């Protein structure tokens, strides 16, 4: 063993799982990962982590890791050297571009990758290939939340820090299974609930742990959140409880907005949502009486056809009651992946450059064109939902996708698989031979977070550094290097020696990150964007002004969109989400011994009422059928769900993938799939 192999190293890193952004030291000896040691100075988590951050690292040394590029030969793959793979990519990309134009190619970035990797991916698409067909998986989750905030307050990020949430007098969560999806953040909420008599209102379909702990639990019909939010807002206005001076000083469109609330009476809300008027009035009173309110929300809100509008309604409610710009107030869309915030922040979007600058803005585009010595199209590109359509229509010929198992996580996956099969040339870059990679022509072996330097941005807009703890396994390479290799194969002449140089370039072109440098992010130091040229950052947004030209926020009227309607035979409402132990579809957590032991594969939660009616008990095998596909799962009878609502966890790489059931319907403003608007019928396969 070399010196390095026998030495114990301690390296600071940032968790690769969820958007809380816990940071900690990882102890390694050679390639062995000995332990995770959180440090007091870690800004998001202090000395806490959850089970995934602590034990979820076996995937890094998994025997399933890809260590060589793979090239398709008929039905099989063969291993290849990098030179051959890169040459093939160059020939195919060039050929497709010559024959069909740059817009026949598309690029998908990853929320697991670093900010720097998101930046170079969009630079490759725009600056080297010449297309804006670039997107990332926030399209599957958080784009509606970002849209709601852009419309009303101007920045698409959490209003303050995770520690600010603790100071709030009233926390409301909507469609968020916080304790399983954002464990360390929920621990903070739980402790302040106990210590400072903080109040908690939970709105959800499912009676999960946070719901059980709440002061008030409301259970609206699936897809009706906008109605109760608007009714509560109207009630507050009718009582004269709105924050008059705040609205006068800071907000546009107040009178018009109030008029648009007219339909949202208490009677209508009760009828449509199933929540009693008493509970809605209690909600309004609790908001009125609290000195500070913040609202946390997640996929239960966003993954609907009206996801952007409901996110907007949340922000409207906060504005009407003056709950922005002070500690303990504000909007907290809870980001899913470790770097889902950063993937969009750094420009992997079809209409925006880094820092949410519009591609259509001539001044902005010229700045990038000059810096990159390239011509960039003015028109926005395709988002990933539109890409699937464009492949089916024969317009899109090639896709380069990194760190994203789109063939499991997109909705209506049977349809997505059909699209993959139609691609002329498909490059997938990942740690494993995923479901998606099995459709590829070339598979490139990438390195996980522990094998590279870079930065991640967590849910509170906090940019944090991760340092390389291990050498890349086999011939795998960090994603930024692979992207640079491809760019240079196409004669781009990029010369980045280290991700810090990529960040420096991004900062020089992006006002939102103007003052970001690696020095300012050393060790456990961090910055919360916007980071101004003088190096100051903004842990709390909107304290002085809202980032619109006149400095004022705007109330944005919205209307309710009815969820997807199904034929009567589809009589069960499907909800879906995470489990504490697994992360999404589980392709990393299933590789981790410490986590899989004792943790079930997917199952379907059924209510005691439904169990009684259909003769189900724990373990009964059922087949669930939607108009788009079918899955087979064992039942778990639980009080968490009620009546004809069932719940399926996202994890499972076998038969159970919930996205065989989901449709291609999407949020009308952002194309985020309406994953939560699914109905199925049930066939009982075997009685126990
Ligand atoms: Fe990682 Fe999220 Fe768990 Fe923190 S809460 S350790 S970031 S998965």
Ramachandran area for residue 253 (φ above 0: left; ψ -120 to 50: alpha; else beta)? left
Residue 8: its pLDDT value, please?
A: 93
The ligand 1 atom at the shortest distance from the C-alpha of residue 24 is: 6
Closest ligand 1 atom, CA of 44? Answer: 4
Among protein residues, the one whose CA lies closest to atom 4 of ligand 1: 22
Q: Which atom of ligand 1 is nearest to the CA of 53?
A: 6
Ligand 1 binding pocket mutation candidate from 165, 177, 182 (most atoms within 8 A of CB) = 182
Residue found under tokens 């790489």: 653
Ligand 1 atom at minimum distance from 185 CA: 5
Which residues does 565 contact at the CB level (< 8 Å), separation at least 6?
none
Task: Write down the pLDDT at residue 598.
Answer: 55
Taking the centre of ligand 1 as the mean of its atom positions, its distance from the CA of residue 452, in whole angstroms, is 19
CA dist 33 and 11 (Å) reads: 11
Q: 462 CA distance to ligand 1 centroid (A)?
A: 14
Q: Give the pair of three-digit tokens for residue 133.
A: 């067909």
CATH architecture of residue range(s) 143-333: 3-Layer(aba) Sandwich (3.40)
**138 CA → ligand 1 middle, Å:** 18
What's the pLDDT band for 179 if we cut at 50, 70, 90? confident
- Please report, in angstroms and rounded to a whole number, the separation of the first and last CA atoms in the chain: 55
Q: Span 503-532, mean pLDDT?
A: 97
Mean pLDDT along residues 642-668: 79
Distance between CA atoms of residues 294 and 182, nearest Å: 16
- Percent of the chain's residues with pLDDT above 70: 94
Reduce the DSSP state of residue 260 to 3 states and report it. Answer: helix
Beta bridge partners of 465: 455
Smallest CA-to-CA distance from 444 within 434, 452, 453, 454 is with 434
Ligand 1 mean position, distance from CA 48 (Å): 9
Given a contact cutoff of 8 angstroms between Cβ atoms, the answer to whether 107 and 121 are in contact is: yes
Per-residue pLDDT at 1 exceeds 50: no
Q: What is the pLDDT of residue 125?
A: 98
In a 3-state reduction of DSSP, which class is residue 34? strand
Which of 14, 16, 18, 578 is the pocket-test mutation for ligand 1 (most atoms within 8 Å of CB)? 18
Tell how far the Cα of 464 is from the centroid of ligand 1, in angstroms: 14
Please give the Cα distance from 306 to 624 (Å, whole number): 25
Of all protein residues, the one whose alpha carbon is nearest to atom 3 of ligand 1 is 50
Predicted confidence (pLDDT) per residue in 392-429, tens digit: 999 999 999 999 888 888 888 889 999 999 999 999 99
How many angstroms does the Cα of residue 182 sit away from the middle of ligand 1? 7
Phi, psi of 585 (to 5 degrees): -70, -10
What distance in Å separates the CA atoms of residue 133 and residue 385, rounded to the nearest whole number?
11
User: What is the arithmetic mean of pLDDT over 96-113?
Assistant: 97
Q: Name the residue with the closest Cα to ligand 1, atom 2.
A: 18
List the domain boundaries for the chain. Answer: 3-61, 70-140+347-528, 143-333, 572-686
The hierarchical CATH code for the domain 3-61 is: 2.20.25.90
Domain at 572-686, CATH from 1.20.1440.60, 2.40.30.10, 3.30.70.20, 2.40.40.20? 2.40.40.20
Predicted local distance difference test score (pLDDT) of residue 164: 87
Mean per-residue pLDDT over the chain, rounded: 91
The single-letter DSSP state of residue 68 is: S
Instruction: Examine the pLDDT at 616 and tell me if it is beyond 90.
Output: yes
> 109 C-alpha to center of ligand 1: Å?
21
Ligand 1 geometric centre to CA of 584 (Å):
13
The whole-number average pLDDT for the span 641-655 is 78
Q: Could you give the CA distance from residue 289 to residue 283 in angstroms, rounded to a whole number?
A: 10
Among 13, 17, 25, 651, the mutation site with the greatest number of ligand 1 atoms within 8 A of its Cβ is 17
- Going from the Cα of 523 to the center of ligand 1, the distance in angstroms, rounded, reads 18
Packing angle, helices 225-238 and 266-273, rounded to 10: 160
Nearest to 403 by CA among 118, 52, 63: 118
Which residues form ligand 1's pocket by a CB distance below 6 Å? Answer: 15, 17-18, 20-22, 45, 49-50, 52-53, 183-184
- Tell me which residue has its CA closest to atom 6 in ligand 1: 53
Q: What is the pLDDT of residues 78-101, one digit of tens each?
A: 999 999 999 999 999 999 999 999
Cα(312) to centroid(ligand 1), Å: 27
Q: Which residue has the tokens 């952002």?
A: 670
Cβ neighbors of 69 (< 8 A, separation 6 or more) are 79, 80, 81, 82, 84, 85, 442, 443, 444, 445, 475
pLDDT at 51: 85
pLDDT of residue 652: 63
Is the pLDDT confidence value at 231 over 80? yes
Please report the pLDDT score of residue 600 as a whole number.
61
Nearest CA to ligand 1 atom 1: 53
Mean pLDDT of 144-169: 91
Task: Give the whole-angstrom CA distance, residue 174 versus residue 202.
Answer: 6
CB 423 within 8 A of CB 391: yes
Q: Say which residue the tokens 């500070």 belong to.
A: 292
Whether ipTM exceeds 0.90: yes
Using most ligand atoms within 8 A of CB, pick from 53, 187, 594 the residue to mutate for ligand 1. 53
Whole-number Å distance between alpha carbons of 673 and 667: 6
Residue 672 confidence class, pLDDT cut points 50, 70, 90:
confident
63: Cβ–Cβ under 8 A, 6 or more apart, which residues? none
pLDDT at 185: 78
CA of 111 to the centre of ligand 1 (A): 15
Residue 533 Cα to ligand 1 midpoint, Å, equals 31
| Ligand 1 atom nearest 45 alpha carbon | 4
- Give residues with Cβ within 8 angstroms of 355, minimum separation 6: 345, 347, 510, 511, 512, 513
- The pTM is what? 0.89
Cis, bond preceding 166 (omega within 30 deg of 0): no
**19, 35, 48, 52: which to mutate for ligand 1, most atoms within 8 A of CB?**
52
Residue 580 has pLDDT above 60, yes or no: no
pLDDT band at 478 (very low <50, low <70, confident <90, very high): very high
> What separation in Å is there between the alpha carbon of 399 and the centre of ligand 1?
31
State which CATH number among 3.40.50.11060, 3.30.450.20, 1.10.3720.10, 3.40.50.740 fits the domain covering 70-140+347-528. Answer: 3.40.50.740
Separation of 331 CA from ligand 1 center, angstroms?
A: 21
pLDDT of residue 24: 96
Helix, strand, coil share of the chain (percent; to 5): 35, 20, 45
Length of the chain: 688
């Amino acid at each position: 063993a070399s010196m390095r192999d026998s030495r114990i190293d301690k390296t600071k890193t940032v968790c690769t799982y969820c958007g809380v952004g816990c940071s900690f030291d990882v102890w390694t000896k050679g390639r062995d990962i000995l332990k995770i040691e959180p440090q007091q100075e870690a800004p998001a988590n202090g000395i806490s982590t959850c089970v995934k951050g602590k034990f979820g690292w076996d995937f890094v040394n998994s025997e399933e890791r890809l260590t060589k590029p793979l090239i398709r030969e008929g039905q099989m793959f063969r291993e290849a050297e990098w030179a051959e793979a890169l040459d093939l990519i160059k020939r195919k990309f060039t050929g497709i571009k010559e024959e069909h134009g740059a817009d026949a190619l598309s690029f998908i970035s990853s929320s697991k990758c670093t900010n720097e990797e998101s930046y170079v991916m969009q630079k490759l698409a725009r600056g080297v290939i010449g297309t804006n067909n670039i997107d990332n998986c926030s399209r599957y989750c958080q784009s509606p939340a970002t849209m709601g905030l852009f419309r009303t307050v101007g920045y698409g990020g959490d209003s303050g820090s995770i520690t600010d949430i603790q100071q709030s007098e009233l926390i409301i969560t909507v469609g968020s299974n916080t304790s399983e999806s954002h464990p360390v953040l929920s621990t903070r909420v739980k402790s302040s609930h106990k210590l400072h008599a903080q109040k908690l209102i939970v709105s959800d379909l499912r009676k999960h742990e946070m719901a059980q702990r709440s002061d008030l639990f409301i259970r609206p019909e699936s897809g009706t959140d906008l109605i109760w939010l608007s009714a509560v807002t109207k009630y507050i206005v009718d009582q004269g409880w709105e924050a008059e001076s705040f609205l006068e000083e800071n907000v546009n469109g107040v009178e018009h907005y109030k008029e648009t609330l007219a339909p949202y009476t208490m009677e209508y809300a009760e009828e449509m949502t199933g929540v009693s008027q008493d509970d809605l009035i209690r909600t309004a009173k609790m908001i009125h009486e609290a000195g500070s309110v913040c609202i946390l929300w997640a996929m239960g809100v966003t993954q609907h056809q009206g996801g952007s509008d409901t996110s907007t309604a949340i922000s409207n409610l906060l504005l009407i009651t003056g709950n922005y710009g002070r500690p303990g107030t504000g909007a907290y869309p809870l980001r899913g992946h470790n770097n889902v915030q950063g993937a969009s922040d750094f420009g992997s979007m079809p209409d925006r450059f880094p820092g949410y600058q519009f591609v259509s803005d001539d001044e902005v585009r010229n700045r990038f064109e000059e810096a990159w010595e390239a011509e960039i199209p003015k028109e926005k590109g395709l988002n990933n939902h539109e890409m699937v359509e464009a492949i089916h229509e024969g317009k899109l010929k090639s896709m380069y996708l990194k760190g994203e198992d789109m063939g499991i996580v997109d909705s209506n996956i049977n349809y997505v698989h059909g699209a993959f099969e139609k691609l002329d040339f498909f490059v997938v870059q990942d740690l494993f031979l995923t479901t998606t990679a099995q459709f590829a022509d070339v598979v490139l072996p990438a390195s996980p977070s522990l094998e590279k330097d870079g930065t991640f941005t967590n849910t509170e807009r906090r940019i944090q550094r991760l340092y390389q703890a291990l050498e890349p396994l086999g011939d795998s390479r960090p994603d930024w290097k692979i992207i640079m290799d491809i760019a240079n194969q196409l004669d781009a002449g990029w010369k980045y020696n280290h991700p810090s140089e990529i960040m420096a370039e991004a900062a020089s072109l992006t006002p939102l990150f103007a003052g970001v440098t690696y020095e300012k992010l050393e060790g456990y130091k961090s910055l919360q964007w916007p980071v101004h040229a003088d190096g100051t950052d903004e842990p709390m947004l909107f304290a002085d002004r809202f980032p619109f030209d006149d400095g004022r926020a705007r109330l944005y009227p919205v209307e309710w969109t009815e969820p997807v309607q199904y034929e009567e035979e589809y009589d069960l409402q499907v909800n879906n989400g995470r489990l504490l132990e697994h992360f999404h579809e589980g392709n990393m957590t299933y590789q981790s011994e410490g986590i899989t032991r004792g943790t079930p594969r997917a199952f379907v939660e059924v209510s005691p009422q439904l169990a009684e009616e259909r003769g189900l008990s724990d373990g009964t095998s059922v087949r669930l059928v939607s108009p788009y596909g079918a899955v087979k799962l064992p039942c778990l009878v639980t009080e968490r769900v009620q009546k004809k609502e069932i719940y399926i966890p996202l994890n499972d790489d076998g038969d159970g993938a919930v996205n065989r059931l989901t449709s291609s319907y999407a949020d009308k403003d952002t194309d985020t799939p309406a994953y939560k608007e699914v109905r199925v019928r049930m066939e009982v396969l075997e009685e126990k």
